Structures are given as structure tokens and as C-alpha cells.
Amino acid sequence: MAVAQRAASPAGPDGPVANPYSVLPNWLYPSFVATGLGLFSLYALYVVLFQRTGESGNYLSPFYSPFIWKTGPLPPAVWITWAPLAFRGTCYYYRKAYFRAFFWHPRSCAVGEPQRRGRRYRGETAFPWVLNNFHRFAFYVTAVQVGFLWWDVIQGFNFGGHFGIGVGSGILLLNTFLLSGYTFGCHAFRHLAGGGMDCMSCSRARFRLWKGITVLNVRHDRWAWASLFTVMLADLYIRLLIHGVFVDPHWVL
Ligand code: FES
């Protein structure tokens, strides 16, 4: 009721309309997104272009997994990170977030767009945004990479052939758990499981899978932000170990 009342109370015929969903200033969320994505992009560029390794003992940074090309003219992370970056860059949630934050297109619900004289709105039908339609292919590649990350988690508990628990093991576990929640809550995966069916109950396996994905999909934005943060945390932690800033506290059984 409150939403309906606020939605029906514009400030004027051509003036701004009250956002029915939030009382926060409409620049706040785009600013948060621009800051968060900007900082992550700078950090990722630094790691991918200027760092040659992300391995410390039994820990492997997610920027390097699977760590196949250790030598060569290109930094090793270049071979890996294109997939998760393409996955995030074409993600339905991030598309909304970065269109609002960086292009004000639009900045928020119920906010007009900046004037673009002579430019026709083409949605995502022209280059480069048409590439966003390849999101499901990025999903296929990233889903495989998540399998490698779970292997890295197992290695993170392997201290010279003995089971152990370290702070790094916990960070890798948390990161891969959140990345899995983000990856397998993908809209494209949900469509793959439940799309194109006229009768959901005719395939119980697909229906159950679709319901499970929906549980993750409902909070897709939160999985996206939490996993973005832990990817950076995991790499930073391992990088500090590599540079000998401190020693990983761990207990071997
Ligand atoms: Fe976000 Fe697919 S829609 S990862």
C-alpha cells in the first residue's frame, strides 16, 4: 500500500518522481557500485598484468586457477581471468549495476536519463553490448573453473600429505563457497534448468534443479558482491604470504 501511494505521488508533470522502493538518495547505490567495481578492476589489473605468481605453499590464488601456464611471455593470470571477467561483465545483475553506475542509463528507478542528442536507443543490439548475449557461454566456462577451485580448496587442507587447517584454507573455502553460490545462481543456468518446458512437473529432476537454483538466484546480487570481495581477499592474503609479510597460522593433525 505504501509503495503504491508513493509511486502515485510524482513531484510534477515533468519533474522527478519519488522512487517507490527506497528513501535513500538515488545517487547512493550507483556511487557504491562505481567505487566497488572501480577498486576491484584496478586490483585485478594490477594482479593480472604485473604479477607472475599467485601460489604460496599449498594455497593458490583464484586469479591463477587452474595454474597451467606458469612460464611464457604473458603473465599466467591472463590465460585464466578472461573467463570470470567475461562472466561477471555479462552477468544480468552487473549489467544493471554498471549501466546505472557508470552510464546513468538510468541512474535509478524513476530517474530520467541524461540527454543524448541524436542518439537512438538500441538496447543491447549493437556492438559492444550485443556481446552480453554470450553470457551463457561464459557460464559454461566458469562452471568448469569452479570445479578447479574446489580442487584448490582440497589442496588448501593438505599440508605435505597431512590434513591441516590454516587461515588460508578457511579463506579459500569461503571464497569458493561464495563463488559457487554466485555461479550456480546464474539466470542463464536457471533458464537452462527450467526454460523451454511447458510442463514443469513432467520432469521432477529439472524442476528440483530449477527450484534449487532459484534459492540462490533470489539473492544473486548479494552473492555477486560477497564473492567479488572474497576473490580479492583470497588473492591479497596469498600475495602477502608470498612476500613474507607474515606466516600463515595453521594446525596440522
Ligand atoms: Fe549473473 Fe549469470 S546472471 S552470473
Q: Residues 163-203: pLDDT tens digits?
A: 999 999 999 999 999 999 999 999 999 999 998 888 888 89
Of 186, 216, 228, the one to substitute when testing ligand 1's pocket (max ligand atoms within 8 A of C-beta) is 186
pLDDT at position 15: 60
Average the pLDDT over each of 14-18, 29-33, 100-104, 246-250 and give the range with the smallest value: 14-18
Residue 15 lies in a domain: no
pLDDT at position 2: 37
Q: How many CB atoms lie within 10 A of CB 129?
A: 14
Residue 47 lies in a domain: yes
Specify the DSSP element, H or E, that contains 55: strand 55-56
pLDDT in tens, 47-77: 999 999 999 999 999 999 998 888 888 899 9
Looking at the 3D structure of the chain, how many domains does it have? 1
Tell which atom from ligand 1 comes closest to the C-alpha of 183. Answer: 4
Residue 221 lies in a domain: yes
Residue 12 lies in a domain: no
Tell which atom from ligand 1 comes closest to the C-alpha of 88. Answer: 4
Specify the DSSP element, H or E, that contains 182: helix 167-183
Residue 211 lies in a domain: yes
Amino acid at 132: N
DSSP-derived 3-state class of residue 104: coil
Cα 252 from Cα 51, distance rounded (Å): 30
Atom 2 in ligand 1: which residue has the minimum CA distance? 186
Specify the DSSP element, H or E, that contains 85: helix 78-89
Residue 40 lies in a domain: yes
Of 37, 85, 93, the one to substitute when testing ligand 1's pocket (max ligand atoms within 8 A of C-beta) is 93
Give the residue numbers spanning the domain of 44.
28-111+122-252
- Residues touching ligand 1 (Cβ under 6 Å) are 91-93, 135, 139, 186-188, 220
What are phi and psi for residue 166, nearest 5 degrees?
A: -125, 170
Tell which atom from ligand 1 comes closest to the C-alpha of 91. Answer: 1
Distance 72 CA to ligand 1 centre (A): 32
Do the bridges between strand 158-159 and strand 55-56 make them parallel or antiparallel, or are there none, so unpaired? unpaired
Residue 4 lies in a domain: no
Where does the pLDDT of residue 5 fall: very low under 50, low under 70, confident under 90, or very high at 90 and above? Answer: very low
Strand partners, 251: 165
C-alpha dihedral, 85 to 27 to 20 to 221, nearest 10°: 20
CB 10 within 8 A of CB 3: no
Checking 109-115 for CB contacts under 8 A at 24+ apart, the result is 109/19, 109/20, 109/21, 109/22, 109/26, 110/16, 110/17, 110/18, 110/19, 110/20, 110/26, 111/16, 111/19, 111/26, 112/16
Q: How many CB atoms lie within 10 A of CB 231?
A: 25
Atom 1 in ligand 1: which residue has the minimum CA distance? 91
Residue 171 lies in a domain: yes
Distance 145 CA to ligand 1 centre (A): 15
Tell which atom from ligand 1 comes closest to the C-alpha of 94. Answer: 1
Cα 140 from Cα 160, distance rounded (Å): 33
For the entire predicted model, the pTM comes to 0.88
Residues 6+ apart with CB under 8 A from 178: 223, 226, 227, 230
